[in-house]
Amino acid sequence: MMVLLFWLTVLALFMAATALGRRLGLIPIVSQLLMAGLGLPLLMAYGVEPHWHLHGAALVAPGWVHACYSLAFALLLGQIIGDVIDLNLNRDSLRVALPSFAVPFAAGLACAAWLLPQLSWVSHLALGLVFAITAIPVLYLYLQHIQYPPAATRRLMQAAIFIDLACWSLLGLAQGSLHLATLAWPLLAAFAPWLLHLCRVRQPLAYSLLFFALLVAAEQLKLNALLMGVGYVLNMAWLKLPLVPPLPKRWMAPVQNGIAIPLLLTAGIVQIDLDGALASLSPAQWAAWLFLPIVSKLAGNWLGLAWAGPSPGGTSRWREAVLLNIRGLSEIVFLNLLLKQQLISEAAYLALMLMGLVATLLPALAGLHRIPLNRIDPARRPRA
């Protein structure tokens, strides 16, 4: 009963933080990251642990919590991976994307080898990908938020989609290489759209519902959900089928912001020994995790934008470099996946989550958006 009360309390706090953030002009993911990075540790340290006598392991132990987590994870991961269907690279977008991915990825590999030499090569690869990732949904919200020129929006969005496709695909392949025997089922599931196509199923919703159901099953059975998910949407793209959200549009944002994202953030934070994580890193290591991903990503973005040439909208290169550095939702799902599979340490998870908050706030801190969020047309918001 106390565990259920804890989760209801947390969801209420996230809803309150999101509502307050909207009044202050913050997009939901920023409010949620602030709540996770600042509010949850205070709640655990001064409320739940001393007075309720509950700790992280007990809070995530019930089967219903794991089931809800699997559904939330599949919903968010499916929406993020589904963005690759929209990939339609042109030369300028590719020129932006390549340095924007390669420079922070190399910096992440070097940082992982320096700070966490004891981890496996897959962990080093994963940390390099965390440095490189761009949050497609949050980037789109920001671009709509500042009424960015359509041509410039397309160039940045296509570059971001390419970067995220590279990140998710490389991690899925790396995970698969560790357990080759477990690759058969995810790869077979990835070609399920062709089976529906041969059965003359033409409704995109049927393909999409099967996609999300397979993601839930893969997460529950500890199969390679990434490889299956990326392969599935690539086959859907080959068949020229759109990915349809599993819920009506009017429900997606409330379910995502009110339940799925808070659940993923809370499940990650409450399992961390905060005192141990804070004490395990030196000031230099904290600075490296917090600032090197941002600096290296900005450098890669700058090089890519310089190679691609002037923005179609005539905006400054600095502005676009900051916007392409946004992390947000994609990084949350990525980090939770790495923590659950023990590919990164708890300290690295906490530091990189705070880094994602800083990177997502950076456009606001740099004065790159001025328009209140209530002026964004909800119908034009991204799927995730």
Buried b (16+ CB within 10 A) or exposed e, 229-264: bbbbbbbbbeeebebbbbeeeeebeebbbbbbbbbb
User: CA-to-CA distance for 128 and 357, rounded, in angstroms?
Assistant: 18
Q: What's at 291, amino acid-wise?
A: F
315 phi/psi in degrees, rounded to 5: -85, 165
Would you give the end-to-end CA distance of the chain in angstroms? 32
Share of the chain above pLDDT 90, in %: 27
- Residue 70 near residue 336, CB atoms below 8 Å: no
Residue 263's closest CA among 67, 28, 24, 44? Answer: 67
For the chain, the helix, strand and coil percentages under 3-state DSSP, each to the nearest 5: 80, 0, 20
Buried b (16+ CB within 10 A) or exposed e, 352-369: bbbbbbbbbbbbbeeebb
User: CA-to-CA distance for 198 and 193, rounded, in angstroms?
Assistant: 9
pLDDT of residue 366: 66
Tokens of 332: 């949350």
Helix (H) or strand (E) holding 52: none
Is 200 in a helix, a strand, or coil?
A: coil
Buried b (16+ CB within 10 A) or exposed e, 35-63: bbbebbbebbeeebeeebebebeebbeee
Domains of the chain: residue spans and CATH: 56-380 (1.20.1530.10)
pLDDT in tens, the chain (384 residues): 788 999 999 999 999 999 998 888 777 888 888 898 888 888 888 888 888 888 877 888 888 988 898 888 888 888 888 777 777 778 889 999 999 999 999 999 999 999 889 888 999 999 999 999 988 877 887 787 677 888 888 889 889 889 988 898 888 888 777 666 567 788 889 999 999 999 999 899 999 999 999 988 888 877 778 788 888 988 998 998 888 888 887 888 889 888 998 998 898 888 887 777 778 888 888 889 999 999 999 999 999 999 988 887 677 888 889 989 988 778 888 888 888 888 888 888 889 988 988 888 888 776 654 433 333 333 344 443
- Residue 344 near residue 104, CB atoms below 8 Å: no
The separation between CA 378 and the C-alpha centre of its own chain, rounded to angstroms, equals 21
Residue 152's closest CA among 134, 167, 162, 140? Answer: 140
What's the per-residue H, E or C state across 156-189?
HHHHHHHHHHHHHHHHHHHHHHHCHHHCHHHHHH
Residue 85's closest CA among 151, 24, 165, 152? Answer: 165
Residues in the chain: 384
Number of H helices, E strands in the chain: 20, 0
User: What is the reported pTM?
Assistant: 0.81
